[in-house]
Structure 1
Amino acid sequence: MEIINFTRKQACRFLFRKQGFSGAYRFEGKQGIMEYIRQAGCIQFDPVDVCGKNAELVLQSRIKGFTKEMLTDLLYQDRVLVDYFDKNLSIIPVSDWPYFERFRKQHRQWERSHEVICGAQEQVKSYIASHGPVCSADLDMPDKVDWYWSHTRLSRAVLEHMYFTGDLAVHHKSGSIKYYDLIETCIPETILSEPDPYPDEHDHQTWRVLRRIGAVGLMWNRASDAWLNIDGLKSAERNAAFTRLIEEEMIRKVQVEGIKEELYILTEDVSLARQCKENTSLKKRCEFIAPLDNLLWDRKLIQALFGFDYKWEIYTPAEKRKYGHYVLPVIYGDHFIGRIEASADRKDQKLLVKNFWFESGVKRTKTMDAAIDAAISRFSVFNQCREIVMEKSYQNGEI
């Protein structure tokens, strides 16, 4: 079987093109959102909203004309996407619902405060059937129970339990508040009735590994955050999955100059890999990348390939942060060129650019600076801001 040989530059070019960061936008509008999420399998959701939530940030860097309303529509109006668990809390195509039946089965069998919570389920179902979607504040269940995140109200625990088990789905959100409805009102019966395509544990793990390789684009067979939330996937199981995927010619080996470990791509991406071996240049774009972006799921790999060391410092004590609370990587062309710290003041509709750090060795040009300006302008529109406030000016070389 052919082994793809890459220089580091070619490997970086491949990853950026696979992710839709190079040249003209590959993805556009709501259709483009669906095309990208089908390619990636899932995008991670995180509720923190400094300058857009993580899932929105993932899409704004790839989708031409993206607005936050597009994602909301696809989730809660069109219902072709659904909030559920894949790589931690994620957004997945609703058609993938049957693949995660084992997750729901686990929660039906066991949960903290299981007996008390299960005893309240029928009451919640009856209430929702009569009143429609609810949040925890709508239910008269003030008793406290031991739950995952803390000692919490029974109303919250039972709603989350029923969400985990697939009895409820997120119907819509009001800010950060989730409103739940009966699953059959949110997902078609034709999908709910489909059996688990991979009831065998090894088959399921192999499918998940393949899915994650496609989500990142280029992966190695080693411990990685890219495998998070694949139950039971230890080194032996991961090795078995890679062996099977190679034997079935679902993935191909890649050797990158200067990197000892073999890497792997999807077989369907071999044609793209060959194109990236040619020294063909595309129009350079500047984009701001989400902290939990699919490209960054294995940060050690990104450091090995790009020489870019990124840590999301949101949970780092302020006095120990190197950069800032919510800092996004900045790409230009086929390179990581820096980091930006920005926040949206939605009351006054201002985008505050608090800081911008260029990577060591970056050679700035007028074209690069113009691309950064354009990216900041797009980012302001994405955050529905009318004004951009530069607290520090990278144009003056102060950053």
Structure 2
Amino acid sequence: MITLTNRQARNFILLKHGLLDKHKFFGKQGALDFIHQTGCIQYDPVDSCGKNAELTLQSRVKNFTKQMLYELLYKERSLIDYPDKNLSIIPLDDWPYFERYRKKAQENGLRFENLAGLEIHAKKHIQKNGAVSSDELPIVGDIHWHSSIHWSGSWDGKTNAARAVLEQLYSTGELIIHHKKGTRKYYDLAEKYISEELLYSPDPFPDEFEHQKWRVLRRIGAVGLLWNRPSDAWLNIWELKSTQRTEIFKELLNEGKLLEIKVGDLKYILFCRAEDLPLIELILREDTFKPRCELIAPLDCMMWDRNLIRTLFGFDYTWEIYTPAHKRKYGFYVLPMLYGNRFIGRVEAVSNIKTHTLTVKNIWYEDGIKQTKKLQESVNSCLKRFAKFNECDKIDFLI
């Protein structure tokens, strides 16, 4: 077992994510490298000052632009939209690992009357006309249907038939998201864009337990340090109960794929991937790293376990987008602000592409943060980079 101080644990997580000291990810290749490191980044369509996936990358990848992610997804197709931790962006190479979910979706589709006929109609239309959105697909009316990937349980409602059949074919892997315009998704046949070898590759882990092990190890790598506790970091790993999770941690330790980390007087043991041992050794040798100021995405993979962030960083963050306005403590779309190895506050900013203006509605600094000249210069530099990321050449402070 390796022992770290709380400060060393924070440094480890931030260095692994490329959020402390010099940048380790650069440009389009850096964006691709980071997503390969984490396995997935979470997608959310809300765009107040960049969508969640874009915000995740801008904080880590030097000179990142939104166009880079679009090209990786829809031009080069080295990445693909697919459910992982909820709606996500994953490396295309990981396609085979989710075969069990596609098979489940196929089985699920058999339960719904008339769906098979609509699928044939939709595929024929797309084969002839190319990528289509639900608004353009010539299927009308509603249908009883729910997605087996995004939801489980009983269902008595109806949904738009065109949207349902496209999402069903997307869930089964017969369609992929060809591109997006804003929040609107356009679907096309997967066989046009994914090689036959990859598209029909068998599940590498036909055993459910081995599949869960792969996903747990992947999620630990995505966050950096995790504990064997209930956590949003495990979302959408089907049938992962506490007993299975404990057995998985035990086996991964025995196989030498995990390291146990004791942090200060923390009650619970943390775990990291064994491949991160060189970074642990660096942390044990060095204590001082050059600070950077960065704005962090609300659904950033580092933030997946809010209890862990609260424990290690002393930072209590709630994404208040779904909180009624009169109950919000801060704002609709508020980003954590990092400086060095501490969260120093949070920022609410809105970009206006028409006026090319980034409006900073408020900055809330954490208690005890001294707003020194050096810190303020770093914050200002961060906001200038953030404005550029949002294609804004002006910053308007409402503070």
TM-score (norm 2): 0.96
Contact 2:41/2:53 (<8 A) preserved: yes
Counterpart of 2:112 (choices 111, 114, 122) is 114
Q: In the TM superposition, what whole-angstrom CA distance separates every residue of 1:55-107 from its partner, at most 9, and x where no partner exists?
A: 00000000011000000000000000000011011000000000000111111
Counterpart of 1:157 (choices 154, 164, 170) is 164
Contact 1:141/1:153 (<8 A) preserved: no
Structure 2 Cα separation of the partners of residues 115 and 68 of structure 1: 41
Matches within 5 A, 1:257-336: 257-336=264-343
2:68 aligned partner: 70
Counterpart of 2:357 (choices 350, 355, 359) is 350
Matches within 5 A, 1:168-317: 168-317=175-324
| 3-state secondary structure, aligned to 2:330 | coil
- How far apart are 1:311 and its partner, in Å? 0.3
Structure 2 Cα separation of the partners of residues 24 and 186 of structure 1: 36
1:382 aligns with 2:389: yes
Which range moved further: 350-359 or 109-118? Answer: 109-118
- How far apart are 1:112 and its partner, in Å? 9.0
1:372 aligned partner: 379
Matches within 5 A, 1:15-94: 15-94=13-92
| 3-state secondary structure, aligned to 1:388 | strand
Contact 1:4/1:255 (<8 A) preserved: yes
| 3-state secondary structure, aligned to 2:173 | coil
Structure 1 Cα separation of the partners of residues 367 and 145 of structure 2: 46
Contact 2:110/2:116 (<8 A) preserved: no
Structure 2 Cα separation of the partners of residues 114 and 182 of structure 1: 22
Structure 2 Cα separation of the partners of residues 69 and 191 of structure 1: 26
1:124 aligned partner: 122
Structure 2 Cα separation of the partners of residues 44 and 147 of structure 1: 25
Q: In the TM superposition, what whole-angstrom CA distance separates every residue of 1:146-168 from its partner, at most 9, and x where no partner exists?
A: 34496332111000100011010
| 3-state secondary structure, aligned to 1:348 | coil
- How far apart are 1:275 and its partner, in Å? 1.2
1:99 aligned partner: 97
Contact 1:113/1:146 (<8 A) preserved: no
Structure 2 Cα separation of the partners of residues 164 and 327 of structure 1: 32
2:152 aligned partner: none
Contact 1:113/1:145 (<8 A) preserved: no
Counterpart of 1:136 (choices 130, 134, 137) is 134
Contact 1:167/1:182 (<8 A) preserved: yes
Q: In the TM superposition, what whole-angstrom CA distance separates every residue of 1:159-193 from its partner, at most 9, and x where no partner exists?
A: 01000110100001111111100011121112112
Structure 1 Cα separation of the partners of residues 346 and 114 of structure 2: 48
| 3-state secondary structure, aligned to 1:260 | coil
| 3-state secondary structure, aligned to 1:115 | coil
Root-mean-square deviation (Å): 1.2
Contact 1:338/1:356 (<8 A) preserved: yes
User: Where does the alignment leave 5 or more consecutive residues of structure 1 unmatched?
Assistant: 393-399
- How far apart are 1:194 and its partner, in Å? 1.4
Structure 2 Cα separation of the partners of residues 260 and 324 of structure 1: 33
- How far apart are 1:282 and its partner, in Å? 2.0
TM-score (norm 1): 0.96
Structure 2 Cα separation of the partners of residues 48 and 146 of structure 1: 27
1:13 aligns with 2:26: no
Q: In the TM superposition, what whole-angstrom CA distance separates every residue of 1:304-325 from its partner, at most 9, and x where no partner exists?
A: 0010000000000111111111
Structure 2 Cα separation of the partners of residues 88 and 142 of structure 1: 28
Structure 2 Cα separation of the partners of residues 139 and 36 of structure 1: 36
Which amino acid counterpart does residue 79 of structure 1 have in structure 2?
R
1:397 aligned partner: none
- How far apart are 1:258 and its partner, in Å? 1.9
| 3-state secondary structure, aligned to 1:50 | coil
1:395 aligned partner: none
| 3-state secondary structure, aligned to 1:374 | helix
- How far apart are 1:113 and its partner, in Å? 6.5
- How far apart are 1:4 and its partner, in Å? 1.1
Contact 1:22/1:333 (<8 A) preserved: yes
Structure 2 Cα separation of the partners of residues 207 and 85 of structure 1: 16
- Identity of counterpart residues, as a percentage? 51
1:361 aligned partner: 368
Structure 2 Cα separation of the partners of residues 72 and 58 of structure 1: 14
